A and B are shown apart, each in its own frame.
Chain A
Amino acid sequence: MNLKTYILSFTFSICYFVAFAQPEVVNEAAKLIQEGKIEDAKIQIDKAITHPDTKDKALTWYYRGYICKDLFKTSKDTSFRNEAIKSLKISIELDSEHEYDGEDKKIIQFLATGMYNEAVESLNLQRFELANSLYKQYLNAMKITDPNYNENKVIFYIGYTAYMNQNIDEAIDYFEQAKALNYNDPLLYQYLGKEYWEKGDKDKAIAILEEGTENHPHYTDIVLLEISYLITMGKWDELEPKLNRAINLKPDDVELKRMLAIIYEKRAKLEKDKKDELIAKSREIYKAILTTSPDDFKANYNLGLSFYNEAVDKMNSIDEEEDDLFALFEIQDANIELFKQALPYMEKAHNLQPENQESLIGLSGIYFSLNNAEKAKEVEDKLAALKAKNK
């Protein structure tokens, strides 16, 4: 608001009001304002708000709002700001002829703008409780000027500050309001989904994140959050399209690709009829990663482990009641091929991170399984030395 215009307008108003007959006590307050004696004016106007002739006049409350606003400006005491807004609200309510409400609203908007700025500042300083209170005060003040006022951004930030204060119910309430008011920010869905999850409403959380992804298809964080929840819920079969979506958004992200490969491996354990197909898919991904990033430790390690685990699974799948010893001895031949395939990846992983215990264990497992006792011993010694060093 243009302060100069505002002061001129107000000075004109004072002169106008004083020129006409007003109850003495109000006139006195107006004169004191003109003379810049704001504290004395406050004493007079406080008498006026209890005087039978003036307490129900819109002008009386307007002056009081004005005086309290000035006192707030000089003292920064927020109780004056609150009193100003309260008085101006009464003034508007009493002003059936709409003589002063324009001025009332201007002052309220001026004070509310200050509240908003303070709220943003508090937010930046991570003083979330204070920011939450100031955003609410701002909203309430603006609703006095326009009962239909609903700024979805402010409502979102009330929700956000409640979220940061761990007030789940309040956060959900405001986030839902902001959503209903079409607040268009992916963070809204991210936080709202998170709050429903925290509250234990898992299906609602997933539904919100789905909606968020639909409205903000290029925002990866929502997809990842949904993936983490689906994993926690054990819904492995629903993850593939989500991850593919995330990979399409970030095609260079190796971690996402590796995650998809791991999810195929997890599914392979659960969906026995699709096991081979899923394992093949996961290996394809690891190999694709290694084509572009041959030194990716995890891809090397996981791929080596994938072949090793297949051999262990094959061994464990022998049915002791139904199969005969022939099957047991025969399966060794097939498994040797798997260990041979596992070996170069595990060796590479070990070379990339020589002090990584997992790859040492994996490597010794492969050497043991290939009955290469000498190499297995060598790796085990390295592992023992490493453990002793890390003690």
Chain B
Amino acid sequence: MRFKFFYILILTFVLCLVDSNRSVSANDYLNAFRAKFLYMITKQIEWPSSRTSGDFVVGILADQTVVDALNTAFTGKTVGAQSVKVEAYSTIKDMKFCHLLYVAPDKSTELSSAISIAKKNNTLLIAEKDGLIKQSCLNLLPSGPKFELEINKGNFNSFGLKYAATLEKYAKNVVE
């Protein structure tokens, strides 16, 4: 008396054990890049002294998968002495004060509406689409299979923000 199917059963079981949690999310990589970039860029920017107390607010105008990924990435992080707080907006109308606003490519039509509020609040506007550097402070320009950095020097000045001189060495394009 033998269980001929035991081998198949146990093999299937073992494969399930070892092969679990292998699925990926389509945007894992891009979201990891975005999270790293958004956090690392804060070290290159100087906000007015009036904005250096309380929470450091990161505003996100993007779909939920991006929001979730960035929320996870920013958990427990600080910028200087300020704790990072992530706020997700479904439209620009929901936008409140934030130190930094990331606008995803599929929300980029709303970017122009954010400019006046951003100027008033010294908000660093970050876009991610070709042609949007004119309306933002920084743009992650899709260039083939990677991103390149664009800086709008003029917007930095008019938004009351400063960036470290070294930032320009990372940029492909600096707009005056």
Contacts and interface: CB of A to CB of B under 8 A. Distances in A.
B113 interface: no
Given A224-B14, A231-B17, A332-B33, A320 B149 contact: no
B32 A231 contact: no
B23 A312 contact: no
Contact of A362 (B24, B41, B146): B24
Interface stretch (A40-48, A107-115, A256-264): A256-264
A333 interface: yes
B14 A368 contact: no
B109 interface: no
B29 A315 contact: yes
A279 B96 CA distance: 46
Interface stretch (A60-68, A89-97, A303-311): A303-311
Given A224-B7, A336-B145, A371-B143, 20 more contacts: A123-B1, A124-B1, A228-B10, A228-B13, A231-B14, A232-B17, A259-B18, A305-B22, A308-B29, A325-B37, A325-B170, A326-B169, A326-B170, A328-B33, A329-B146, A332-B33, A361-B25, A365-B28, A371-B142, A373-B142
A361 B25 CA distance: 6
Closest 6 CB pairs of A and B: A332-B146, A370-B145, A364-B26, A365-B26, A315-B32, A369-B29
B106 to A, nearest CB: 10
Interface of B: 1-2, 6-7, 10-11, 13-15, 17-19, 22-30, 32-33, 36-37, 39-41, 44, 142-149, 167, 169-170
A231 B40 contact: no
A302 B145 contact: no
Contact of B44 (A325, A339, A370, A376): A325
A325 B167 contact: yes
A358 B19 CA distance: 13
Contact of A320 (B13, B23, B40, B144): B40
Contact of A365 (B2, B15, B24): B24
Contact of B26 (A225, A309, A361, A371): A361
A292 interface: no
A231 B18 contact: yes
Contact of B36 (A190, A311, A315): A315
Interface string A210-246: 0000000000110011011001100000000000000
A263 B18 contact: yes
Interface of A: 123-124, 187, 190, 220-221, 224-225, 227-228, 231-232, 255-256, 258-259, 262-263, 266, 302, 305, 308-309, 311-312, 315-316, 318, 320, 323-326, 328-329, 332-333, 335-336, 339, 358, 361-362, 364-365, 368-373, 376, 380
Contacts of A324: 40
Given A220-B7, A308-B24, A358-B23, A336 B33 contact: no
B144 A302 contact: no
Contact of B32 (A221, A316, A364): A316
A370 B27 CA distance: 11
B29 A328 contact: no
The residue among B14, B27, B33, B147 with the most chain A CB atoms within 10 A of its own CB is B14
Contacts of A231: 14, 17-18
Contacts of A227: 14
Nearest to A186: B2
The residue among B27, B36, B167 with the most chain A CB atoms within 10 A of its own CB is B36
A38 B7 CA distance: 54
The residue among B27, B145, B146 with the most chain A CB atoms within 10 A of its own CB is B145
A221 B27 contact: no
Contact of A221 (B7, B44, B170): B7
A227 B23 CA distance: 23
A368 B148 contact: no
A333 B146 contact: yes
B10 A221 contact: yes
Contacts of A361: 23-26
Contacts of B40: 320, 323-325, 328
A318 B25 CA distance: 20
Contacts of B1: 123-124
A372 B27 contact: no
Nearest to B12: A255
A332 B32 CA distance: 12
A202 to B, nearest CB: 15
Contacts of A326: 169-170
B38 to A, nearest CB: 10
Contacts of A187: 2
Contact of B147 (A308, A329, A358): A329
Contacts of B32: 312, 315-316
Contact of B145 (A255, A329, A369): A369
A16 B36 CA distance: 104
B36 A328 contact: yes
Contacts of A308: 24, 29
A138 B157 CA distance: 97
B118 to A, nearest CB: 22
